[in-house]
Amino acid sequence: MTPPNTGTDTRLPIVILISGSGSNLQAIIDATENDSLHADIRAVISNRSDAYGLERARQHGIKTAAIDHNDFADRASFDQALQNCIDQYQPQLIVLAGFMRILTETFVDHYQGRMVNIHPSLLPAYTGLNTHQRAIDAGDAEHGVSIHFVTNELDGGPVISQARVAIHAHDKAEDLAQRVLDQEHHLYPQTLEWFCQGRIRQQDNQAIFDGQPLHKPLDCTTESN
């Protein structure tokens, strides 16, 4: 990953990938507009043309593109088209914000060390889907959200930061999901700002923060959980 220029007037160029409504995208946009996040969102790209997140981006004057995975014969050809689209914007960081596609090794390797994802669990617990119900069913006392570097292991890259929520006795999955989402909207912009400041990078299979290996994720839990 090319170290960002941390001068006061520069912003880290990023591209955001989405598949759905884009609530985390909105949180990131809001943070760039109130100057708590010094990123330049070069484009928002979705694999679904009807993703509402594309409309969110357009409302803020951000370039958008839709590349429908159903238009391609296989995963590799879709990923190549996606890569070609991303690279024309020359981002230093690729931000997955509810992008519901498993990426090929070739794609992941191309962006190694400069692609991050948000996942609704306290990784390494509950990779994959239905994380909120799985945490409730297991009788866990807490749940949360993680931001990690993307590697070829699904939801298995080095974890950078997390935020936690308590699981209450009568929680349903949708209740827990909403509290986790509230934490997501704080966690992602904060973590991305550390990238903009040049404080986070990946070295081998390790997250590095302020030049030191992270032996546990940064805890960014807010009080409203």
Q: Which two tokens stand for residue 12?
A: 């880290």
Q: How many helices, marked H, and strands, marked E, lie in the chain?
A: 6, 11
Q: Which two tokens stand for residue 5?
A: 């220029």
- Produce one character per residue of 67-90: b if its CB has 16 or more CB atoms within 10 Å, e if not: bebeebeeeeebbbebbebbeebe
Name the nearest CA neighbour of 178 among 224, 138, 223: 224
Find the distance separating the first CA and the last CA of the chain, reported in whole Å: 34
Strands across the sheet containing 115-119: 64-66, 39-46, 12-18, 93-96, 115-119, 142-149, 159-166, 218-219
DSSP string, 127-190: -SS-HHHHHHHTT-SEEEEEEEE--SSTT-SPEEEEEEEEPPTT--HHHHHHHHHHHHHHHHHH
Does residue 119 have an active-site annotation? yes
Query: H-type helices in the chain, by residue range?
Result: 23-33, 52-59, 75-87, 105-110, 131-137, 173-196
**Catalytic site residue from 38, 119, 185, 186:** 119
Give the residue numbers annotated as catalytic, written as ranges.
Answer: 119
